Chains A and B, each alone.
Chain A
Amino acid sequence: MSVIAPKFKLSEFIKSLLDNVFWIILLLVLVGLPAVFMILFVIELPVINGELLTPFLALTWLADPSRILPVVKAFMGTDIFRVMAFPGFGFAALLAAGTIFVERKMLAKLQLRVGPFYCGKFEGILQLMGDGLKLISKEIIIPAKADKPIFWAAPVLFVAAAAAFVAFIPVAPGWVVTDVDLGLLGVFAVIGFFPIITILSAWSANSKFPFIGGIRALFQMVSFEIPLILSLLGVVMLTGSLNLSEIAASQSVFPWIVFLPVGAIVFFITMLAELERIPFDLPEAESEIVAGWLTELSGMLYGLVQLGTYLKLYAFAGLFVVLFLGGWNGPMIVPQFPAEILANGITMGPVTLNPPGLPLFTQEMLNGTLMFILKTAGVIFFILLPRGVFPRIRVDMLLNLGWGKLIGLAFVNIFIALGLLYAGVLGPGGLQ
Chain B
Amino acid sequence: MADAVFLALAVITIGSAIAALEMRSLIYGSIALMGTLGGVAGFFFLLDAPFVALFQIAVYVGSIAVLILFTVMLVKRELIFKKIEDKRRKFAGIGLMLVFMVALGAVFLDSGIKTITTDEPAPDFRDIGIDFVTYYWPALILMGLILAGSVTGSLVLARREDVENDQRAN
Q: Which residues of A contact B (CB under 8 A)?
A: 147, 150, 180-182, 185-186, 188-189, 191-193, 195-196, 199-200, 203, 215, 218, 222, 225, 240, 242, 396
Interface check B152, CB cutoff 8 A = no
Interface check B100, CB cutoff 8 A = no
- Are the CB atoms of B62 and A193 closer together than 8 Å? yes
- Cross-chain contact of A192 among B27, B50, B61, B168 (Cβ < 8 A): B61
Q: How many residues of B contact A (CB 8 A)?
A: 20
- Specify the chain B residue showing the minimal Cβ separation from A184: B54
Contacts of B62 in A (CB 8 A): 188-189, 191-193, 195-196, 225
Interface check B70, CB cutoff 8 A = yes
Of A189, A199, A240, the most chain B CB neighbours within 10 A belong to A189
Of B27, B31, B54, the most chain A CB neighbours within 10 A belong to B54
Q: In the bound complex, what is the Cα–Cα distance between A193 and B34 (angstroms)?
A: 11
- Are the CB atoms of B51 and A192 closer together than 8 Å? no
A272 CB to closest chain B CB, in angstroms? 20
Contacts of A189 in B (CB 8 A): 54, 57-58, 61-62
A182-B50, A191-B62 known, 4 other contacts, Cβ within 8 Å: A185-B55, A186-B54, A196-B66, A196-B69
- Cross-chain contact of A185 among B27, B51, B66, B73 (Cβ < 8 A): B51
Main secondary structure of the interface of A (DSSP, over half): helix
Q: In the bound complex, what is the Cα–Cα distance between A191 and B62 (angstroms)?
A: 8
Q: In the bound complex, what is the Cα–Cα distance between A225 and B126 (angstroms)?
A: 24
- Are the CB atoms of B70 and A199 closer together than 8 Å? yes
Interface check B40, CB cutoff 8 A = no
List 14 contacting pairs A-B, 8 Å CB cutoff, sorted by A.
A147-B27, A182-B125, A185-B51, A185-B58, A192-B62, A196-B61, A196-B65, A196-B69, A199-B73, A200-B69, A203-B27, A218-B70, A225-B62, A240-B126
Known: A182-B125, A200-B31. A188 touches B54 (CB 8 A): yes
Q: Which residues of B contact A (CB under 8 A)?
A: 27, 31, 34, 50-51, 54-55, 57-58, 61-63, 65-66, 69-70, 73, 125-126, 168
Q: In the bound complex, what is the Cα–Cα distance between A199 and B30 (angstroms)?
A: 13
Contacts of A147 in B (CB 8 A): 27
Known: A181-B50, A185-B51, A222-B63. A192 touches B58 (CB 8 A): yes
- Are the CB atoms of B54 and A182 closer together than 8 Å? yes
Of A180, A188, A240, the most chain B CB neighbours within 10 A belong to A188
- Specify the chain A residue showing the minimal Cβ separation from B50: A182
Q: In the bound complex, what is the Cα–Cα distance between A186 and B53 (angstroms)?
A: 10
Q: In the bound complex, what is the Cα–Cα distance between A423 and B54 (angstroms)?
A: 32
- Are the CB atoms of B73 and A203 closer together than 8 Å? yes
Q: In the bound complex, what is the Cα–Cα distance between A180 and B125 (angstroms)?
A: 13
Contacts of B51 in A (CB 8 A): 182, 185
Contacts of B58 in A (CB 8 A): 185, 188-189, 192
Q: In the bound complex, what is the Cα–Cα distance between A225 and B67 (angstroms)?
A: 14
- Are the CB atoms of A185 and B69 closer together than 8 Å? no
A181 CB to closest chain B CB, in angstroms? 7
- Cross-chain contact of A199 among B54, B61, B66 (Cβ < 8 A): B66
Contacts of B65 in A (CB 8 A): 196
Q: In the bound complex, what is the Cα–Cα distance between A218 and B58 (angstroms)?
A: 15
Q: In the bound complex, what is the Cα–Cα distance between A27 and B44 (angstroms)?
A: 47
Contacts of A181 in B (CB 8 A): 50, 125
- Specify the chain B residue showing the minimal Cβ separation from A203: B73
- Are the CB atoms of B73 and A192 closer together than 8 Å? no
- Are the CB atoms of A192 and B63 closer together than 8 Å? yes
Q: In the bound complex, what is the Cα–Cα distance between A200 and B28 (angstroms)?
A: 10
- Are the CB atoms of A192 and B70 closer together than 8 Å? no
Contacts of A196 in B (CB 8 A): 34, 61-62, 65-66, 69
A156 CB to closest chain B CB, in angstroms? 15
